[in-house]
Amino acid sequence: MRSTRHFSLLGATLLTGVFLCLLFVSAAGPALADTSGLFAFENADIQTVVKQVAALTGIAFLFDPVQVKGKITLLAPKGVSPAEALELLKSALALQGYTLLSRAEGMWIVPAERVVDEAFTIKVVPLTYARAGEVAYALSWVAPPAVRIVPYYPTNSLIISGHPAAVERLIDLIK
């Protein structure tokens, strides 16, 4: 009887130890949650995310770690291709005020205000069947960060400025 009781106590202690180990391992998981191929970073350091995207895409990223810092969140509901991972990184960096510049040696990550875009255009788009303020608000959700959309109420027009290709895409969307 004593040996059965001792075995039960030992079994309970062992089971508790295994449970605590599993709990510790699951709580100390990495920033990249790899659940069936999902691409997810939650409040992760930018440099950690860049390292993972570099490994996935095979692209070399160059940046000054003193200037490029902060936390970002990338949550994809399904697995992403290397090209999609790069686009997600580009968008997340833009939210933090950084941009990617493609160079022969790799992708440079620099503060967006340091990039001088030589190509810049301003277009005035008169509207007939919609209100300028409503259209400007709707377009602000899909416009690239470097494009500015301003409603001009006296003529019910939009003033769109930015990179020529991006401005033309928005004008096509309005049409």
In Å, what is the CA distance from 70 to each residue of 44, 55, 96, 136, 172? 8, 20, 8, 30, 36
Q: Is beta strand 106-111 parallel, antiparallel or unpaired with respect to 61-62?
A: parallel
The reply to whether 121-174 shares the fold of 40-113 is yes
Q: Per-residue pLDDT for 24 more than 80? A: no
So where are the chain's domains? Answer: 40-113, 121-174
Written out in words, the top-level CATH class of the domain with range 40-113 is alpha beta
Distance of CA 134 to the CA centre of its chain: 27
The pLDDT value recorded for residue 36 is 39
Written out in words, the top-level CATH class of the domain with range 121-174 is alpha beta
Check residues 117 and 38 and name the one with the higher pLDDT. Answer: 38
The pLDDT value recorded for residue 137 is 94
Share of residues in the chain with pLDDT > 70 (%): 75
pLDDT band at 6 (very low <50, low <70, confident <90, very high): very low
pLDDT band at 98 (very low <50, low <70, confident <90, very high): confident
Lowest mean pLDDT among 39-43, 52-56, 115-119, 167-171: 115-119
Secondary structure of the chain in HEC code, one letter for each residue = CHHHHHHHHHHHHHHHHHHHHHHHHHHCCCCECCCCCCCEEEEEEHHHHHHHHHHHHCCCEECCCCCCCCEEEEECCCCCCHHHHHHHHHHHHHHCCEEEEEECCEEEEEEHHHCCCCCCEEEEEECCCCCHHHHHHHHHCCCCCCCEEEEEHHHCEEEEEECHHHHHHHHHHHC
* Residue 148: how many other CB atoms lie within 10 Å: 14
Asked whether the whole model's pTM tops 0.75, one would answer no
Q: Interhelix angle for 164-174 vs 132-140, to 10°?
A: 120
Q: pLDDT for 38-69, tens place per residue?
A: 678 889 999 999 999 999 899 999 888 888 88
Q: What mean pLDDT comes out for the span 142-160?
A: 89
